[in-house]
Amino acid sequence: MIIGLDIGSRSIEMICMEDGETVRAERVPTTFDPLAQCAKLLNGLRPSRLVGTGYGRNLVQRMELGCELHAITEIKAHALGAASLFPETATILDIGGQDTKAISLSNGKVMKFEMNDRCAAGTGKFLEYTAGVFQIPIEEFGAYALKGSNPPEISSVCTVFAETEATSLMARGEKPESIALGLHKAIIRRTTNMLGRVGLRLPLVFTGGVAHNPCIRRLLAEATGAEEGTGLLIPEEPDMAGALGAALHGMAS
């Protein structure tokens, strides 16, 4: 058995593969004790090789599993995962809990990438925080924003400044749904700039937990001119792509 672990800032995903097939896929929150959470995921599993990726990828070297332990970058893991799901992948966008990655691929190989990992601006954490300001569960925030119209322009995706702008707009009588839509559009402006810098080509594969957000999906399709299902491809479980790539790396090692 080969295991891929994507140890992110918000969650840890695990993919177990045997004979080239995924036999188990699970996720737990990272919490402040990621090693304990990894142990909970493994729960007695005895892999012959384990490959870590994500923020906490080097933690795998501290696991006492009696097997080969490796770590690869998130860029490499997401490239492997996306290309295995969609061999025609030309560009990857991954928006996770606290970073955003734009990756250009050619024949499955990374040609260029850009990563925003210095703050949570425009990431899943930004959406989670602003959803809290609106007192909307994060799972419902995208659908809520889609009810908006004529959204005001939000100039910042810094969590603190965006909240200040949103509060000022509410005081001026803007509809909350439209402000929420404006916040989503601000993320897309930042994201499409990143995609442009790596040379956006279609099809674009969208991974990471934010790919579950229907408003981000629709705005991304509009901004890139890609139709979801052809030019814009989204895995059934977009947040498992990194763990899948790590497991595939382990299979090939």
pTM (predicted TM-score):
0.90
Q: How far apart are CA 218 and CA 221, in angstroms?
A: 5
Selection from 115, 113, 127 nearest residue 187 by Cα: 127
Q: How far apart are CA 73 and CA 122, in angstroms?
A: 21
pLDDT attached to residue 130 = 85
pLDDT attached to residue 163 = 72
pLDDT, tens digit (0-9, with 9 covering 90-100), for 188-200: 998 999 999 999 9
Q: How far apart are CA 132 and CA 185, in angstroms?
A: 18
Selection from 128, 137, 132, 130 nearest residue 164 by Cα: 130
pLDDT, tens digit (0-9, with 9 covering 90-100), for 161-177: 667 777 777 777 789 99
Task: Provide the Cα torsion 3, 4, 7, 10; round to 10°.
Answer: -100
Residue 177 covered by a domain: no
Residue 222 covered by a domain: no
Q: Pick out the chain residues at pLDDT < 70.
A: 117-122, 156-162
Written in H, E and C, the secondary structure of 93-133 is EEECCCCEEEEEEECCEEEEEEEECCCCCCCHHHHHHHHHH
CATH of the domain at 68: 3.30.420.40
Q: List all residues 6 or more positions away from 66 whose beta carbon is below 8 Å from its beta carbon.
A: 46
Residue 118 covered by a domain: no
| Residue 153, phi then psi, degrees to nearest 5 | -80, 125
Cis peptide bond N-terminal to 203, omega within 30? yes
Task: Provide the Cα torsion 27, 32, 35, 39; round to 10°.
Answer: -50
Q: Per the structure, how many domains does the chain have?
A: 1
Residue 64 covered by a domain: yes
Write out the E strands in the chain. Answer: 2-7, 11-18, 21-29, 49-53, 68-71, 91-95, 100-106, 109-116, 204-207, 232-233
pLDDT attached to residue 120 = 61
Residue 67 covered by a domain: yes
Q: Sign of the C-alpha dihedral, residues 229, 141, 126, 12?
A: negative
| Angle, alpha carbons 159-160-165 (nearest 5°) | 95
Residue 56 covered by a domain: yes
pLDDT attached to residue 118 = 62
Residue 12 covered by a domain: yes
Structure tokens at 88: 């025609």
- Given a contact cutoff of 8 angstroms between Cβ atoms, the answer to whether 93 and 79 are in contact is no
pLDDT attached to residue 178 = 93
Q: Domain span at residue 54? A: 2-74+241-252
Residue 50 covered by a domain: yes
